[in-house]
Amino acid sequence: MPITGGVEFKPAKASCSAVVGLQWGDEGKGKAVDLLAGEHDAVARYNGGANAGHSVVVGGVRFSLHLIPSGILYPGKRAVIGNGVVVDPWKLVEEIDGLNAKGVNTSGLCVSDRAHVVMPYHKIEDGLREDLLSRGVDGKKGSGNLGTTRRGIGPAYAEKVQRGCAIRMSDLLKPAALRERIAMALEVKAGMFNPWKEGKSGAELADVSVDSLAERAERIGQRLAPMIKDTTQVLQETLAGGGRILFESANGTLLDVDHGTYPFVTGSSCVVAGVGTGTGIPPMRLGRVLGIMKAYSTRVGSGPLPTELNDDVAHRIRERGREYGTTTGRPRRVGWLDLVAVKYSTAVNGATGICITLLDVLAGLTTIRVCTGYRLADGTVTDRFIPDAGDLAMAQPVYTDLEGFGDEISGAKKLADLPRAALAYVEFVARFVGVPVDIVSVGPGREQTIMC
Ligand code: IMP
């Protein structure tokens, strides 16, 4: 008999949901979060930083969010930036002010006191590392950079793991400790920054000056102080009160630091397991994991994209899908849907359902190709995903050709409104991946959504 100490033990209900990207980011998670937020009491981000970019269109107005959970656009929701996020506090304030200017109430927002801070020197370091990877050492050309967003994400996560000089949100409210950490961090990085300092203007040098940084960091801390909280407790109390939480992933599974196409990945755990470490809520509280995938593939930055296209079809998809980065404005690389990759991501996340976005972008193509296998260097074909970037780069996609659909579908409200070939495409995805398609999105607006 289990020992209960006389207390009635009730197993916790799996009442929460998560939205996670199944590709290389930019799958349209913001819209999915916005759709699901209504059924939840709080929305929480658990990973990434200002590298992410979520676009949501509400009432014809486009909102671009980087750090703040998209659920903020739903009045009355608690919006939480969890401890697993790396926060650029200046970007956060910029984002809050931008939302307020558009009439969005941000009073429900709170930020974990344990979230790590992205300091200006992390961004400089990100850039210097990228430049070094391109340039190489000892006159030998480098193997190529990662194509990061240069938002300081990798260096901030590295600082967190190295400990000692890292700054957390709560440290912004402790001037003496804050100054000491900044001084230590700059001392450790002096070898990197001293050559960089040559020829820099006063304004640029302020980003590596202890006095300037300590003063700016203290000031931004004061501004954010009312929203810096123990968010694990906030979320645990939400659950204890019978509330439901929606967890919002940033970036995508194939950019996950462990499960993505390393080293061409970001610095955080994008997969749903990141919910536990990134917020303090155990993943077994998740009843629903909605995997988001585009009807085709895109990737920003370097790294393999087996189905990549560089022809008129790519141009057409890029323009129709507005495939330019929300964060950096870079044109996204475009390719056919890679179902081998999507099936892998679905398994890694334990997705209970799929949301297909941007199906409308494919309208007008005679044939739509879908990658259903990889041909390896020895000529054999596999339906297993290859997470190693070097090996994946050698794989050739094996395609299944599906019939295209000519009609525009952006006005479709239910599955029956879709042309036969569009419906067949959705069914093909569900069958191949082995998980039901719950939602099909045919445009950026909330109303351009088919609930299956
Ligand atoms: P980092 O996250 O800035 O270090 O960049 C690492 C890689 O992830 C680069 O290839 C970026 O382009 C990519 N990346 C980071 N965030 C996103 C995102 O939200 N969408 C798409 N790609 C991203």
Ligand 1, closest atom to CA 154? Answer: 4
- Cα(286) to ligand 1 centroid in Å equals 26
Ligand 1, closest atom to CA 49? Answer: 2
Amino acid at 293: M
- Cα(291) to ligand 1 centroid in Å equals 18
271 touches ligand 1 (CB under 6 Å): no
Nearest-Å Rg of the Cα atoms of the chain is: 23
- Cα(228) to ligand 1 centroid in Å equals 26
Residue 40 catalytic?
A: no
pLDDT at 1: 80
pLDDT at 329: 83
As a whole number of angstroms, the distance between CA 111 and CA 44 comes to: 10
Mutate to test the pocket of ligand 1, among 20, 149, 308 (most ligand atoms within 8 A of CB): 149
Amino acid at 76: G
Atom 2 of ligand 1, residue of closest alpha carbon = 266
Nearest to 252 by CA among 89, 37, 41, 20: 20
Mutate to test the pocket of ligand 1, among 47, 85, 251, 262 (most ligand atoms within 8 A of CB): 251
Ligand 1, closest atom to CA 148? Answer: 5
CA angle 269, 160, 131 (to 5 degrees): 80
- Cα(442) to ligand 1 centroid in Å equals 25
As a whole number of angstroms, the distance between CA 71 and CA 41 comes to: 10
Q: Which residue has the tokens 């955080």?
A: 268
Indicate the burial class of 78 (C-beta count within 10 angstroms; 0-12, 13-18, 19 or more).
buried
146 touches ligand 1 (CB under 6 Å): yes
Nearest to 44 by CA among 250, 221, 292, 220: 250
**Residue tagged active-site, from 34, 41, 54, 256:** 54
As a whole number of angstroms, the distance between CA 347 and CA 268 comes to: 19
52 touches ligand 1 (CB under 6 Å): yes
pLDDT, one tens digit for every residue, the chain (452 residues): 888 888 888 878 889 999 999 999 999 998 899 889 999 999 999 999 999 888 778 878 888 899 999 889 888 899 999 999 999 999 999 999 999 999 999 999 999 999 999 999 999 999 999 999 998 887 777 678 999 999 999 999 999 999 999 999 999 999 999 999 999 999 999 999 999 999 999 999 999 999 999 999 999 999 999 999 999 999 999 999 999 999 999 999 999 999 999 999 999 999 999 999 999 999 999 999 999 999 999 999 899 999 999 999 999 999 999 999 877 788 999 999 999 999 999 999 999 999 999 999 999 999 999 999 999 999 999 999 999 999 999 999 999 999 999 888 999 999 999 999 999 999 999 999 999 999 999 998 888 999 99
Q: If you ran DSSP here, which 8-state letter would residue 445 be given?
A: B
As a whole number of angstroms, the distance between CA 428 and CA 368 comes to: 12
Nearest to 83 by CA among 250, 232, 251, 266: 232
- Cα(152) to ligand 1 centroid in Å equals 11
> Which two three-digit tokens encode residue 194?
């001293």
Q: Is the peptide bond before 387 cis (omega within 30 degrees of 0)?
A: no
As a whole number of angstroms, the distance between CA 290 and CA 17 comes to: 8
As a whole number of angstroms, the distance between CA 16 and CA 246 comes to: 6
Element (H, E) at 110: strand 109-112
438: helix, strand or coil: strand
Specify whether the CB–CB gap between 357 and 323 falls below 8 A: no
Q: Which residue has the tokens 């957390």?
A: 168
- How far is residue 168 from each of residues 67, 86, 124, 236, 308, measured CA to CA in Å? 16, 9, 19, 21, 39
As a whole number of angstroms, the distance between CA 294 and CA 342 comes to: 10
- Cα(302) to ligand 1 centroid in Å equals 9
Nearest to 371 by CA among 407, 402, 328: 402
Greatest alpha-carbon span in the chain: 73
Ligand 1, closest atom to CA 52? Answer: 19
Q: If you ran DSSP here, which 8-state letter would residue 284 be given?
A: G
Q: Give how far the C-alpha of residue 117 lies from the chain's centroid of Cα atoms, to the nearest Å.
A: 18
334 touches ligand 1 (CB under 6 Å): no
pLDDT at 56: 79
As a whole number of angstroms, the distance between CA 389 and CA 160 comes to: 25
Residue 41 catalytic?
A: no
